[in-house]
Amino acid sequence: MLTFALTMVRHGETQYNRDKLLQGQGVDTPLSDTGHQQAMAAGRYLKDLHFTNVFVSNLQRAMQTAEIILGNNIHSSATEMVLDPLLRERGFGVAEGKPKEHLKNMANAAGLACRDYTPPGGETLEQVRTRFRKFLKTLYKSMVEDHESAFSPHLSDPEEPVINGLADDGVKSVPVHALVVSHGAFIRVSVRHLIEDLQCSVPVGVRINQLFSPCPNTGISRFIFSLCREESGLQVSRIHCVFVNRKEHLEELKLCN
């Protein structure tokens, strides 16, 4: 069995985020000044953790965020950053570059909730979920190939992670740790897939609607995976959710403003 941690971070703010404009995949904007500050805050918050693997959306707002996080990290500044288009934001088709209110109006006209509506040329939620499933397959393969020595047939599933509200929650005794930097809608779909489809355990006392809430810029989520080898291939024996959409690191920015 191989146990590894997965920490997912949304990119920092862009001017499009500030102006409430949809970016998706076709609009590739850089971080704003605030976005740089948010990424720096996330980097400082995560600075003592050791990321053995780093996977990043190949859109520049995610790449810039990952570079800043790694640049602030004590142990992982030299870790290779793997750019993966599977981690891109949900495609919003003709709505990209337009106000979010425009998308809401299109959804209302179609009689659908905004989250469930797919604008012409955009990705459905199921298509985004399929992308995440493909990413998980490549992630599992990478974890096993890169950390074969940590794979032991004698290990049992880890206990529920202890949560103390600290940056190292759930990872103190987990030597293999992947960082993923992606996007808000993609992360939201990913969390739903882990909890609803893969039956991930959730922290005691946390409501489901909290877990499925929108991820803020540089919001941080963490999961612990246990992989085992079976005749059919690699299988997940258990997934723990440690926390979702943590944003305590952003409090320091409020104090400075």
Q: Is 14 assigned to a binding site?
A: yes
Rounded Cα distance, 1 and 196, in Å: 23
**Which of these is catalytic: 11, 193, 240, 249?**
11
12 is annotated as contributing to ligand binding? yes
- Give strand ranges (E) for the chain: 2-10, 53-56, 81-83, 177-182, 220-230, 233-246
Burial class (CB in 10 A: 0-12, 13-18, 19+), 240: buried
* 50 is a catalytic site residue: no
Residue 249 a catalytic site member: no
The answer to whether 154 is annotated as binding is no
What gap in Å lies between CA 106 and CA 88, rounded to an integer?
23
Q: Answer yes or no: is 45 a known binding residue.
A: no
177 in a labelled binding site: no
Please give the DSSP secondary-structure letter assigned to residue 183: -
Distances (CA, A) of 81 to 35, 58, 141, 223: 20, 10, 16, 20
Q: How far apart are CA 255 and CA 252, in angstroms?
A: 5
Catalytic-role residue among 50, 67, 75, 89: 89
Question: Is 108 known as a binding-site position?
Answer: no
13 annotated to bind ligand:
yes
Is 16 known to sit in a ligand binding site? yes
Residue 15 labeled ligand binder: yes
Binding residues: 10-17, 61, 100
| Catalytic residue set | 11, 89
Binding residues for substrate: 10-17, 61, 100
